[in-house]
Chains A and B, each alone.
Chain A
Amino acid sequence: MNEPFAPWTDETATPLIRIEQVTKRFGDFTAIDDLSIDIFPREFFALLGPSGCGKTTLMRMLAGFETPSAGRVTIDGQDMGGVAPNRRPVNMMFQSYALFPHLTVWDNVGFGLKREGMAKDKLAACVDEMLKLTQLDALARRKPHQLSGGQRQRVALARSLAKAPKLLLLDEPLGALDKKLRQETQFELMDIQERTGTTFVIVTHDQEEAMTVASRVAVMNHGKLVQVDPPDQIYEQPNSVYVADFIGDVNLIPGRATQVGDMAELAWAEGQGTLLGQPGGGVKADTAASFAIRPEKIAIGREMPEARNRVQGKIIDIGYLGNLSTYHVKLPEGPVMTCEVGNRSRLSRRELTWEDDVWLSWSDTAGLVLPT
Chain B
Amino acid sequence: MTCGCLGRIPQDWCCRHERARGFQPRAFIGRSAVKRAFTVIPYIWLLALFLVPFLIVLKISFSDIAIAIPPYTPTLELSEGWQGVRNFFGGLDFENFVFLTSDDLYWKAYLSSLQIAVVSTLITLAVGLPIAYAMARARDDWRPALLMLVILPFWTSFLIRVYAWMGILSNEGLLNQFLIWSGFITEPLVILNTNVAVYIGIVYTYLPFMILPIYASLERMDPSYVEAAEDLGCSRLSAFWIVTLPLARPGVIAGCFLVFIPAVGEFVIPSLLGGSSTLMIGKVLWEEFFSNRDWPVASAVAIILLLILVIPIILFQRQEVASRETEG
Contact = CB atoms under 8 A, between A and B. Distances in A.
- Our verdict on whether A and B bind, yes or no, reads yes
Interface of A: 63, 65, 84-86, 90-92, 94-96, 98, 100-102, 111-112, 115-116, 143, 145, 159-160, 163
Contacts of B228: 92, 94, 98, 100
Interface string B241-252: 001001101000
Nearest to B221: A101
Nearest to B228: A98
Contacts of A112: 232-233
A101 B232 contact: no
Interface residues of B, number: 20
B225 A98 contact: yes
Given A96-B224, A100-B243, A102-B247, A91 B231 contact: yes
A98 B227 contact: yes
Contacts of B235: 84, 86
A63 B231 contact: yes
Contacts of A100: 225, 228-229, 243, 247
The 3 A-B residue pairs whose C-beta atoms are closest, nearest first, are A115-B233, A112-B232, A98-B228
A98 B328 contact: no
Contacts of B227: 63, 65, 85, 92, 94, 98
A85 B239 CA distance: 12
A308 B222 CA distance: 59
A85 to B, nearest CB: 5
Nearest to B223: A98
Given A98-B224, A98-B225, A143-B326, A85 B247 contact: no
24 contacts: A84-B235, A85-B230, A86-B230, A86-B233, A86-B234, A91-B232, A94-B224, A94-B227, A98-B222, A98-B224, A98-B225, A98-B227, A101-B247, A102-B246, A102-B247, A102-B249, A111-B232, A112-B233, A115-B233, A115-B238, A116-B233, A145-B328, A160-B232, A163-B233
Nearest to B232: A112
A84 B236 CA distance: 10
Contacts of B243: 100
Contacts of B246: 102
Contacts of A86: 230-235
Contacts of B238: 115
B237 to A, nearest CB: 11
Contacts of A159: 232
A176 to B, nearest CB: 13
Contacts of A98: 222, 224-225, 227-228
A101 B324 CA distance: 13
B324 to A, nearest CB: 11
Interface string B301-328: 0000000000000000000000000111
Nearest to B328: A145
B106 to A, nearest CB: 41
Most buried by A among B225, B228, B233: B228
Nearest to B327: A145
Interface string B198-226: 00000000000000000000000010110
Nearest to A60: B227
Contacts of A65: 227, 230
Given A101-B326, A102-B247, A145-B326, A96 B231 contact: no
A163 B247 contact: no
Given A96-B222, A98-B224, A145-B328, A115 B232 contact: yes
A145 B322 CA distance: 13
A101 B232 CA distance: 16
A90 B227 CA distance: 13
Contacts of B232: 86, 91, 111-112, 115, 159-160, 163
Contacts of B247: 100-102
Contacts of B233: 86, 112, 115-116, 163
A160 B318 CA distance: 34
A130 to B, nearest CB: 13
Contacts of B328: 145
A116 B233 CA distance: 7
A160 B231 CA distance: 9
Contacts of B225: 98, 100
A241 to B, nearest CB: 36
A65 B328 CA distance: 30
A98 B234 CA distance: 15
